[in-house]
Each structure stands twice: as C-alpha cells, then as structure tokens.
Structure 1
Amino acid sequence: MSSAQGSGRLTGLAWAVLLLGLWLWGRDASSGSGSTSAPTTGDIAAVGRPLGVPLPPAHEPLKGVLPQRVEIPALGVAAPVVPRNLDADGAVDPPPYDRPGTVGWFGGGARPGEEGAALLVGHVDTESRPAVFYGLSSARPGQHVKVTRADGSIAEFTIDDVQVFPRSHFDAAKVYGPRQHGRAELRLITCGGTYDRRTKAYTANVVVSAYLTDARDAAPSKPPKP
C-alpha cells in the first residue's frame, strides 16, 4: 500500500484515478448488502450547516502521521483505521466485510491532520447487520471527530458540513477535494439514499466534512520503576 504524499494533495493522473476509484468503491461497497434497514437518508440533498451553529477557528496543519483509530462520540463510533489502496480495477479497496467495525483510510492521499483532505471510508451495513458508518447521516455540524495517530497524538476535527450526493449528480471534485486551501480536512464517506436491488447499490453517498480544530501531543510515557 502506498504511503501518503508529503503535501497531502493529489494531482494529474493520480487525482483522476482516485476519483474514478472512489466512485467505483461507492458502487461496489454495497454489493450484496441491503438486507438490513436502509439508513434514513432518503433523497435528502444536503443537511449542510444550519444557521447559528458556531464553529471554532481552524488549527494549523500537523505533520503527517498514520491514523490508527477514529472516534465520533456523538454517534457512538469508535473504530480502528486500516490503510487501503486501489485494487486491480482501480477502485478503493474497502475494509473487509468480515470486519464491519473497521474504517478504511485511503493511503494514497493526505494523512489525517496534515494539509489536504484525508479520506475515511466505511461500510453502512453488511448482508445481516449495520456496519461502522450506519449512523453517519445523522452527524451534525459542530460535532467532533477524533483521530488517534500512530505516534499517540490526537487530531480533533469539527464537522462543518453533511451532505448526501445522489449518484446521478455526483460531483467528485466537490466531494473529495479540499474545501479551503491550507486547511487540514477530513471526509467520512459511506453509502446512503436507498438500496436499489436491481443495481445492487445504494443510490447516493453520505459525505461528512470536517476540519482540524485542535491537536494533542502523545501522552508522555511513564518512567520505568526503579
């Protein structure tokens, strides 16, 4: 699996391959699913940012470090993060179905906390039960997302936007590209809308956008007992 690029950005052919691959991931990630109740996203185009929701200023980007765990306290999400890459067909290889509580990080892009938009993808359900991002559509601006990184540091993001993008009006650059230059951003992505048994895919993608607002260094290790 490839490591993140130092700048956290994708350009040229790599960007085009990523956008195609993520679209294919959204198409394939739900194959064989839909036997559970679909998430209540319906045909909502956007939740967006309600007026009057105060949001904190952005924190300056951090040094890129591999993610290990993601938490969304308001949704009860606490899950390990594993690197994923593009498979032989050019699609993002999602977390295995036998690990429905695992979140995948696209290892060819930004690492959470560094400049750019880091991408975290997760299943909405399996053939028999909800998966890690089943409740993602209920996220709201102002809620926090915490990413624990390999060095023990924690990058804390604040959600500023929640949208559901129908596949018929999918804007890849808007979904996966940075919203503001120079920020460290995060995208949490899963399937949404309704499950189409004919195509064996959901009709939309839920996309939660967040940006870095706080950071904590790794806790100092305790000195060994004499």
Structure 2
Amino acid sequence: MSSGERTVGSGRLLTGVAWAVLLVGLSLWGSGITDLPGGLSGPATGDVAAVGRPLDVELPSAHRPLPPARPLRVDVPSLKVRAPVSARGLDGEGAIDPPPFSEADSVGWYGGGTRPGAPGVALVVGHVDTETEPAVFYDLSALRPGEKVEVTRDDGTVAEFTVDDVRVVTRARFDAKKAYGHHEAGRAELRLITCGGTFDKAARTYTANVIVSAYLTGVRQ
C-alpha cells in the first residue's frame, strides 16, 4: 500500500491474522521444517508491485560474517529511521511479543535467533502504525534493493547491510523457507518485517506482511 493510500486512526494494529501467520512461519522455520514448496510469489500491492530483486541493480559483495553481538539500534538512512532495539521473546501462544504501542518508534529483535551480523538470518520486527499515527516501519515498503540498513551493536561495531529484496507476502502464499531462510548460504542476513497489503476493518488486521531482506556488506567501528 502506498503512503498516499494510507490513513491513520482506523485502528490498524500489528496483531491479528497477518501477524499470526508470520509467526507460525517463524515457528516452523525455527523447528527446522523449512522444506516447503513455492516462494514469495504472492501478488504485491501498491508501491511494492514493482520491486523484488531487479536485475539492473548492481549489488556489492557480501562481507564475511561477524562474531555475535547484541543489536542496539537500527538505522535506515533512506527512510530517516533511527530506532532503538529491544530483544523480544515469545508470548504464551508462541508468537514474538512485539514492542508495545507506547514504543512504536522502536523495533524488536527476535532474541531467540541470530544476532545481526553473525552467520544466519536475524529477524527485526516493527509496527507499521498505531491507532493514531504512523509507526517506525510505516514506509518500509518504500525501501529498494541497493539501499542500506545499519545495525549498531554492543561490541562497538556498526554492521552495514544492503537490501537485496522487498516483498509483500500474503497469508495464502506465505512460505517460511523463503521468508526466513538464507538467500545465500554462509552469509549474515537480516529481515525487517511489518504489516502490509490491505487493512481488513472487520478482522482489524492487515492481509499480508512486508518483508525486506538484506545481507552484510560492510562493518565499521
């Protein structure tokens, strides 16, 4: 959904069916059940329709993975996002407990998984909006391959990631392997995730998720 199509204050929450489907996939992936058919081929909507992984974008080589360190902040310069990170666990239903809406300008890192910059796929989630205003990942679908995501870590390093894929994944076409698995084995990869698609007022939830994939391409102190 493009920014011009969004209206805030309709009670759209990063909860409900779309979020539940996302986390069911996470549960399957974490259990090693990743050999699933298909891929992120569901129909994109709005400003995501033209993205994915364009062939005409030259992407840099991957940087070797870093030793594990906890993430402190996520910066997305092109979106002017500068968000503190909190480690989030699972709730009683086995879903990631996202940051509270009172902290809608922060993001949650799945602390039971990979640390950003280390080998594997690190997961970072954030709200798209609250009852009254846009939230941290409101413009996440506007990211394009080749743009940067920076993660400041508690070892004093900044892990620099390059976006290589942006997708809207519908509930019907969700594939845990494609959403959470490596794009290329051996890399340090990152997923930024929020709600997307259209908002179902009756169900009070979005119909899909926006998943931005990136991989480690640099590091600085």
TM-score (norm 1): 0.78
* Residue 91 (structure 1) aligns with: 95
Contact 1:43-1:193 within 8 A present in 2 as well: no
Does the 8 Å contact 2:90/2:97 carry over to 1? yes
User: CA shift at 1:51, angstroms?
Assistant: 2.3
Give the paired residue count: 187
Report the Cα distance in structure 2 between the residues aligned to 1:195 and 1:181, rounded to whole angstroms. Answer: 35
> Counterpart of 1:59?
63
Runs of 4+ in 1 over 6 A off after TM superposition: 11-14
Greater C-alpha radius of gyration? 1
Specify the SS of the correspondent of 1:148.
strand
Q: 1:124-203 residue pairs with structure 2 within 5 A?
A: 124-203=128-207
Match of 2:10 in 1: none
Distance in 1 (CA, whole Å) between partners of 2:54 and 2:32 is 34
- Can you list the C-alpha shifts for 1:20-77, whole angstroms capped at 9, x where unaligned? xxxxxxxxxxxxxxxxxxxx94495672122221100000000000000000000111
Q: Partner residue of 2:30?
A: 15
Mapped to 2, the partners of 1:76 and 1:63 lie a distance apart of: 28
Q: Quick one: which amino acid aligns to residue 141 of structure 1?
A: P
**Helix, strand or coil: the match of 1:137?**
helix
TM-score, normalised via structure 2 length: 0.79
Unaligned segments of structure 2, at least 5 residues: 1-25, 35-43
Instruction: Quote how far apart the aligned CAs of 1:164 are.
Output: 0.5
Are the structure 2 counterparts of residues 89 and 76 from structure 1 closer, same or farther at C-alpha, using a change threshold of 3 Å? same
For 2:153 and 2:29, locate their aligned partners in 1 and report how far apart those are by CA, in whole Å: 25
- Aligned-partner residue type, residue 107 of structure 1: G
Aligned mates of 1:209, 1:66 — CA distance in 2:
19
